[in-house]
């Protein structure tokens, strides 16, 4: 019909999920929750694959011909360890932030609605949320550093 | 090409009166009537949302209020120009409307016992302004709009700009309108019509009105030969915020706020020793202008506007924050002043037009099948000066009355099928004449000039000389070639609708000024320096303006007086 | 199923996953040194302990249900046609069943499959 | 005062294949709002600029748009508060563009209507022919009050990440209004209202990104309302059992 019909739809699409620029801290947390969730799911599926090598036994005497040693050589190196470090980072963030979300989505810790005063400050975006997101980031970083030290500590 | 749409009742305007009428028409017909609400804005954007302080009703006769008292206050406020039979009907209907809105969900502010709270307003002898914080109009609109979602037989035409009335054989047939989104042109036919298009306050630049409050509806009726009544009476609210003119509700004074001049004096004691700051609006506005003219006002450096201080301190921070939430928000946002800490700069500001489309007590116009309600109409309960909190109330009462009347009228009639000739002529006028038209004058400059002229010469105090100058200026502007459109796309062409608005402004401004020039007395909001006294012998009558070849032709009609004989007003 | 029931599952699996994953991580990196934790004999002893086998199986189910249901939610929010909705639902169920089955296979074979170190 | 550089996204879908930015230089004055700047450009520089507005005091909700990247009301945003000498005005995300800054809020109003945004009562006769008010204590009222401040400007819904892709999601405005009516002590329609929200594209598609509350100009805090409502959707019970309460003091009193 009209020449600009497609552009006129104007729905933000996936950039609405992925680009939180100009918005609030909680929006950034939303993006990371989603992205880390997908990342974790991918890792878990992969992890199912690599653990399945276990049934091949250490030397290929089990039901599978592939061996644990073969798999170990594949992932037990600096690159594999780096992946693990990142997985721990996103796992801890996703878990801690997820607890914040569950608690909040059930209407707890948000504050109670009531008389409001200008300049308006949204109760639902209050200090508890900021602190919880801060905590999620802090725990994730600590866990990451710890994992790094465990995996690379010996070699540094 | 002219599209044809058909409904039973077609309501123009989606403000308080329009929505109330739509619901009542839907209800009165038992869901049978097919109702259209045609509005040039979106739903919930009408300027009724900006009404702030209260809606008057007698809710507590057991505590000393009475219908007679509300009646008398209203008549006295009107400077005896109100039709007293209409006032009586209005006052009786109001308590029911308050409860109705409560039952539809309006969050009226409450007293400790859970009953509806009321506050003082100017010109009343009992605190009968029913309120919901200071967003009364907004909450009323919200409640009506939300309630309207219940009725499948109410159809909204949002952002359709009505341009003319279609009439045949002295009967209403429908409206023509532009669909803004597409630029299409349609005739919306109806068995009955209601004009609820609001006031015309954007004739002024210093006005509490939103930018959309132009007199399109009034001008449309007028062009169709329906007279405009009492248009010279324009209310100047005492407290418009400097510099934007945004309304600072009378409830501020109702809650205890006071006006103070540059001497630190509460000057209202000299003008209205009994009611002080809560005298009727015309009295307070004149007092403020006198203070300013005699050198006891303040001056805003950035804009050069004169002003008076509105001091909130007697109210106290707690009450300001609880009951005047929006006012505080507006003051901080638009003026950078927290009224808890400092007084606000205010000045009388164009706020309401008492006049409007001439109707009888049922809201019916002279055109059979067409009603008018709300600020667009003049029933008249407001006479020459409306009391605060009576306008939202009037919208509710006559919204309901006209909605029911129109639905009843439509029931027995068959759907109209006119020739479409007048719609084709209108389409030619707009699209061939204006959309494709050429001209050298910027219509927005014309608008600005009208507003400047009205601000200067048709304000609180008027003189024959000033009004004469204004009339000349308006006629000069009318002759200019502003009827053209730079935007050549049909899609959402506000350039086109703005030109039509400016045309309406000129039409109605001329009526206002002509009426004011002719009325050689001072009554209510119409204060002539050259005729400072009220003249009941010659002027206790309504002005009626009909369209004539050389501008408005004025006629007059009698005022209905039942219980209260005109007397001198004291506050 | 009512969406709130699915969300209840999502929340419950989330809380359980946080607890189980925390234990899993602690076991792999802290309670036992990492190099020992991933040695074949240590893992075998874990699988052969009923307690840990059940623990790993629970971890498997909880994390996969949570993860794939989460993916389902994301996909539903992405597109809203009826076939898309139906196939993502079916796909989610299939993915959960398949991955849980595959993981369970590892657990069962590790216990009963004659694997030896 | 230096002039203001005002960039407006221009786009008439009937003629242009895609939007373009056009810059206007507008004389700046103290306390100027973005709406005033836009109207200056429209009135004196290019009459074809499409912009929607009405009350100019943040009561009507007409002038929602994206200003310097964030959804705001043009009348309620002062040039000064943005910092700098340039303003970028674009239409709100997630609504179809009618022209330039004007977006189509049709679906937005429709979604609002779908959550039964009105008091539902079992005493239909009294509700439409009232004899007296329903009693509400001030503290009961204050619990829903902030949600009644919604002016339907649509900023929250344009900010919502779920709405960015999910066309069936009611959006923060409608959900917050569902809470507003459900939590009103006068309401008796909560059970059905929350049941209708418990669907595939219903309330659970909110993940509390909070952007709605972040951009709301009127302090409504839709995210709060939505989360509070989720608990009741989960349990299947509205916040209060109005049937029980209405038998007692909420029953309309007879005129004395």
Mean pLDDT of D216-235: 96
Residues of A in contact with B325 (CB under 8 A): 116-118
Query: Maximum distance among all alpha carbons in chain D?
Result: 69
The closest of B436, B423, B425 to B495, measured between CA atoms, is B436
Chain A residue set in contact with B, beta carbons under 8 Å: 115-119
Is residue B237 among the annotated active site residues? yes
CA-based nearest residue in chain D for residue A98: D207
Domain that holds residue B491: 421-534
Task: Calculate the average pLDDT of chain C.
Answer: 93
In chain A, residues with a C-beta closer than 8 Å to the C-beta of D143 are: 112-114
Do B and D count as touching (3 or more CB pairs closer than 8 A)? yes
Please report residues of D whose CB lies closer than 8 A to that of C76.
166, 200-201, 205
Question: What pLDDT was estimated at residue D250?
Answer: 53
What CATH number matches the domain at A24-152, 3.40.50.1820, 3.90.550.10, 1.20.1300.10, 1.10.3980.10?
1.20.1300.10
**Of the candidates C116, C113, C112, C4, the residue with the CA atom closest to the CA atom of residue C50:** C112
3-state DSSP helix/strand/coil % of chain B, to nearest 5: 40, 20, 40
The pLDDT tens digits for D74-89 are: 999 999 999 999 999 9
Per-residue pLDDT at A3? 85
Query: Half-sphere exposure of A100 toward its Cβ, with a 13 Å CA cutoff?
Result: 27
Chain A CA closest to residue D16: A4
**B506 domain-assigned:** yes
pLDDT bracket for residue A154 (50, 70, 90): low
Query: What CA–CA distances, in Å, run from B281 to B121, B259, D12?
Result: 10, 13, 46
C25 touches chain A (CB under 8 A): yes
Nearest to D14 among A2, A107, A114 (CB): A2
- With cut-offs at 50, 70 and 90, classify the pLDDT of residue C97: very high
Residues of chain B with pLDDT under 50: none
Q: A118–B322: do the CB atoms touch at under 8 Å?
A: no
Place of tokens 């002003």: B307
Sorted by where each starts, the structural domains of chain D and their CATH numbers stand as: 4-103 (3.10.20.30), 106-247 (1.10.1060.10)
* Residue (of A45, B564, B443, B244) closest to D47 by Cα position: B443
C-alpha dihedral sign at B445, B449, B452, B454: negative
Q: Give residue for tokens 């209050």.
A: A126
Q: What is the pLDDT of residue A59?
A: 67
Q: Read off the pLDDT of residues D83-124 as tens digits, 9 standing for 90 and up.
A: 999 999 999 999 999 999 999 999 999 999 999 999 999 998
Listed in sequence order, the residues at least 6 apart from C110 whose beta carbon sits closer than 8 Å to its beta carbon are: A54, A55, C43, C44, C47, C48
pLDDT at B261: 98
Distance, CA of D60 to CA of D50 (rounded, Å) = 18
The structural architecture, per CATH, of the domain C3-112 is Up-down Bundle (1.20)
Answer yes or no: do A115 and B322 touch at CB < 8 A.
yes
Residues 126-165 of chain D whose Cβ lies under 8 A from any Cβ of chain B = 126-128, 130-138, 141, 144-145, 148-152
Tracing tokens 């700098």 back to the chain, one arrives at: D84
In this structure, is residue B248 part of a structural domain? yes
Residues B446 and B530 in one domain: yes
State chain D's mean pLDDT as an integer.
Answer: 93
Beta strands in B13-79 (DSSP E): 35-39, 55-56
What is the secondary structure of B128-156 as a DSSP string? -EE-STT-HHHHHHHHHHHHHTT-TTEEE
- In chain D, which residues have their Cβ closer than 8 Å to the Cβ of C73? 204-205
**Nearest chain C Cα to A81, which residue?**
C34
Q: Do C2 and D162 touch (CB under 8 A)?
A: no
Residue with token string 């050298």: B440
Which residues, numbered 61 to 80 in chain C, qualify as contacts with chain A under a Cβ-Cβ cut-off of 8 Å?
63-64, 67-68, 70-71, 74, 78
pLDDT of res. B385: 98
Cβ-Cβ contacts under 8 Å, D221 against chain A: 113, 116, 120, 122-125
The pLDDT of residue A54: 87
pLDDT tens digits along D121-151: 999 899 999 999 999 999 999 999 999 999 9
Q: Is B253 a catalytic residue?
A: yes
User: Which of B192, B191, B289 lies closest to B239, judged by CA?
Assistant: B289
pLDDT at D11: 98
Strands (E), B454-540: 461-462, 527-528
Last residue of a domain, one of B303, B326, B349: B349
Residue A10's pLDDT band (cuts 50, 70, 90): very high
Residue ranges of A 3-32 with Cβ closer than 8 A to chain D? 3-5, 7-17, 20-24, 26-27, 29-31
Contact A41 C110 (CB under 8 A): no
pLDDT above 50 for A152? yes
Examine residue B389 and state whether it is found in any structural domain, yes or no. no
- Whether residue B444 is contained in a domain is answered as yes
Whether the predicted pLDDT of D6 surpasses 60: yes
Cα of A8 to nearest chain B Cα, Å: 13
Cα–Cα distances in Å, from B90 out to B58, B74, B209, B402, B406? 11, 10, 25, 13, 18
Q: Is residue B425 in some structural domain?
A: yes
Burial class (CB in 10 A: 0-12, 13-18, 19+), B64: exposed
In chain C, the residue whose alpha carbon lies closest to the alpha carbon of D205 is C77
Q: Which tokens sit at B177?
A: 């309108």
- Please judge whether D201 and C7 are an interchain contact, meaning their C-beta atoms are less than 8 angstroms apart: no
How far is the alpha carbon of C85 from chain A, nearest alpha carbon, in Å? 18
Give the Cα separation of C62 and C60 in Å (integer): 6
- List, for residues D17-72, the tens digit of each pLDDT value: 999 999 999 999 989 999 999 999 999 999 999 999 999 999 999 999 999 999 99
Left if phi > 0, otherwise alpha if psi is -120 to 50, otherwise beta: which for B36?
beta
List the alpha helices (DSSP H) in B519-560.
536-539
Contact by Cβ (8 Å): D156, D215: yes
Q: Which of B318, B349, B380 is the last residue of a domain?
A: B349
Query: Is the model's pLDDT at C85 over the cut of 50?
Result: yes
Given a cut of 60, whether residue A64 has pLDDT beyond it is no
**pLDDT score recorded for residue D239:** 82
Examine residue B520 and state whether it is found in any structural domain, yes or no: yes
Note the pLDDT of residue D254: 44
Chains that touch C (3 or more CB pairs under 8 A): A, D
pLDDT at D255: 43
> Does residue B202 belong to any structural domain of this protein?
no
Average pLDDT for A119-135: 96
Cβ-proximal residues to B160 (8 Å cutoff; 6+ apart), any chain: B38, B39, B40, B177, B178, B179, B180, B186, B188
Task: Say how far apart CA B356 and CA B544 lie, in whole Å.
Answer: 10
Specify the higher pLDDT residue, D22 or A70: D22
For residue A63, pLDDT beyond 60: no
Do B426 and B345 share a structural domain?
Answer: no
Contacts of B332 in chain A (CB under 8 A): 118-119
**CATH number of the domain residue B309 falls in:** 3.90.700.10
Catalytic residue among B27, B70, B237, B484: B237
Give contacts of C106 with chain A, Cβ < 8 Å: 48, 51-52, 54-55
Number of domains in chain B: 2
* A115/B332 CB distance under 8 A: no
């Amino acid at each position: 019909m009209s020449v600009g019909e497609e552009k006129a739809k104007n729905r933000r699409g996936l950039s609405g999920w992925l680009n939180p620029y100009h918005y609030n801290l909680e929006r950034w947390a939303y993006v990371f929750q989603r992205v880390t969730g997908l990342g974790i799911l991918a890792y878990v599926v992969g992890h199912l694959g690599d653990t399945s090598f276990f049934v091949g036994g250490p030397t290929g005497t089990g039901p599978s011909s592939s061996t644990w040693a073969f798999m170990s050589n594949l992932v037990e190196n600096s690159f594999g360890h780096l992946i693990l470090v990142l997985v721990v980072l996103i796992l801890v963030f996703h878990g801690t932030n997820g607890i914040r979300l569950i608690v909040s989505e059930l209407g707890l810790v948000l504050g109670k609605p009531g008389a409001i005063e200008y300049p308006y400050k949204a109760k639902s975006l209050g200090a508890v949320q900021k602190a919880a997101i801060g905590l999620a980031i802090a725990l994730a970083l600590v866990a990451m550093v710890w994992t790094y030290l465990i995996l690379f500590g010996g070699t540094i | 090409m002219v599209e044809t749409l058909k409904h039973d009742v077609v309501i123009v305007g989606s403000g308080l009166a329009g929505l109330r009428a739509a619901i009542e028409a839907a209800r009165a017909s038992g869901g049978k009537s097919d109702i259209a609400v045609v509005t040039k804005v979106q739903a919930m954007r009408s300027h009724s949302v900006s009404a702030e302080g209260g809606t008057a009703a007698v809710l507590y006769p057991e505590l000393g209020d009475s219908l007679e008292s509300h009646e008398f206050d209203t008549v006295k406020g009107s400077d005896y120009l109100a039709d007293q039979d209409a006032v009586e009907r209005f006052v009786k209907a109001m308590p029911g409307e308050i409860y109705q809105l409560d039952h539809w969900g309006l969050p009226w502010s409450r007293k400790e016992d859970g009953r509806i709270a009321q506050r003082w307003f100017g010109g009343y002898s009992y605190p009968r302004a029913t309120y919901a914080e200071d967003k009364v109009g907004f909450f009323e609109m919200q409640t009506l709009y939300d309630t309207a979602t219940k009725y499948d037989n109410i159809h909204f035409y949002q952002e359709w700009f009505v341009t003319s009335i279609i009439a045949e054989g002295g009967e209403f047939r429908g409206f023509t309108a532009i669909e803004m989104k597409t630029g299409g042109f349609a005739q919306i036919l109806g068995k009955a019509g209601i004009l609820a298009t609001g006031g015309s306050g954007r004739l002024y630049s210093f006005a509490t009105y939103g930018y959309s409050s132009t007199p399109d509806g009034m001008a449309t009726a007028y062009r169709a030969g329906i007279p405009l009544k009492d248009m010279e009476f324009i209310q100047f609210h005492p407290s418009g915020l400097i510099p934007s003119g945004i309304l600072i509700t009378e409830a501020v004074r109702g809650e205890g706020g006071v006006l103070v001049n540059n001497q630190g004096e509460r000057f209202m004691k000299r003008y209205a020793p009994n009611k002080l700051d809560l005298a009727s609006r015309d009295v307070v506005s004149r007092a403020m202008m006198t203070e300013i003219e005699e050198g006891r006002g303040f001056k805003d450096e950035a804009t050069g506007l004169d002003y008076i201080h509105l001091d909130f301190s007697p109210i106290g921070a707690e009450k300001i924050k609880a009951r005047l939430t929006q006012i505080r928000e507006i003051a901080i946002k638009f003026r950078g002043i927290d009224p808890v800490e400092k007084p606000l700069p205010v000045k009388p500001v164009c706020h309401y037009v008492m006049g409007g489309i001439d109707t009888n007590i049922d809201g019916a116009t002279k055109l059979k099948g067409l009603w008018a309600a709300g600020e667009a109409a003049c029933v008249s309960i407001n006479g020459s000066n409306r009391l605060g909190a009576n306008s939202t109330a009037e919208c509710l009462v006559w919204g309901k009355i006209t909605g029911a009347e129109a639905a009843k009228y439509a029931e027995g009639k068959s759907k109209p099928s006119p020739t479409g000739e007048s719609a084709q002529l209108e389409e030619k006028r707009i699209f061939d004449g204006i959309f494709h038209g050429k001209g050298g004058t910027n219509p927005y400059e014309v608008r600005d000039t009208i507003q400047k002229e009205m601000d200067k010469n048709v304000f609180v105090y008027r003189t024959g000389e000033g009004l004469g100058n204004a009339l000349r200026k308006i006629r000069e502007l009318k002759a200019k070639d502003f009827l053209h459109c730079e935007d050549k796309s049909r899609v959402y062409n506000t350039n086109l609708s703005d030109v039509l608005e400016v045309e309406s402004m000129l039409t109605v401004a001329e009526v206002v000024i002509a009426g004011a020039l002719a009325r050689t007395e001072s009554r209510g909001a119409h204060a002539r320096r050259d005729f400072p006294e009220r003249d009941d012998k010659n002027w206790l009558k309504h002005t009626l303006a009909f369209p004539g070849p050389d501008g408005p032709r004025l006629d007059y009609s009698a005022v209905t007086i039942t219980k209260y004989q005109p007397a001198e007003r004291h506050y | 199923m009512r969406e709130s029931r699915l969300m209840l599952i999502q929340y419950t699996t989330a809380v359980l996953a946080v607890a189980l994953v925390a234990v899993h991580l602690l076991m792999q990196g802290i309670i036992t040194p990492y190099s020992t934790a991933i040695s074949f004999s240590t893992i075998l002893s874990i699988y052969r302990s009923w307690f840990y086998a059940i623990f790993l199986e629970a971890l498997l189910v909880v994390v996969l249900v949570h993860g794939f249901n989460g993916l389902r939610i994301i996909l539903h929010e992405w597109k809203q046609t009826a076939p898309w909705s139906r196939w993502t639902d079916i796909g989610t169920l299939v993915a959960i069943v398949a991955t849980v089955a595959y993981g369970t296979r590892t657990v069962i074979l590790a216990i009963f499959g004659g694997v030896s170190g | 005062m230096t002039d203001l550089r005002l960039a407006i996204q221009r786009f008439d879908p009937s003629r242009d294949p895609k939007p373009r930015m056009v810059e206007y230089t507008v004389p700046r004055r103290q306390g100027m709002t973005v709406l005033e700047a836009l109207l200056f450009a429209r009135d004196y520089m290019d009459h074809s600029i499409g912009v929607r507005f009405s009350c100019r005091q943040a009561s009507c909700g007409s002038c929602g748009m994206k200003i310097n990247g964030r959804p705001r009301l043009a009348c309620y945003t002062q040039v000064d508060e943005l910092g700098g000498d340039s303003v970028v005005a674009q239409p709100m995300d997630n609504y179809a563009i009618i022209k330039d800054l004007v977006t189509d809020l049709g679906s937005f109003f429709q979604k609002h209507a779908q959550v039964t945004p009105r008091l539902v009562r079992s005493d239909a006769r009294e509700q439409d022919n009232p004899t007296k008010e329903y009693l509400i204590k001030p503290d009961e009222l204050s619990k829903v009050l902030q949600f009644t401040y919604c002016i339907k400007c649509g900023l929250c819904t344009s900010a919502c990440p779920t709405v960015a892709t999910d066309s069936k999601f009611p959006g923060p405005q409608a959900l917050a209004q569902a809470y507003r009516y459900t939590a009103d002590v006068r309401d008796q329609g909560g059970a059905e209202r929350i049941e209708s929200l418990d669907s595939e594209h219903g309330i659970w598609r909110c993940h509390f990104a909070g952007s709605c509350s972040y951009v709301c100009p009127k302090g409504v805090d839709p995210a709060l309302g939505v989360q509070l409502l989720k608990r009741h959707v989960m349990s299947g019970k509205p916040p209060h059992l109005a049937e029980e309460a209405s038998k007692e003091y909420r029953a309309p009193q007879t005129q004395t």
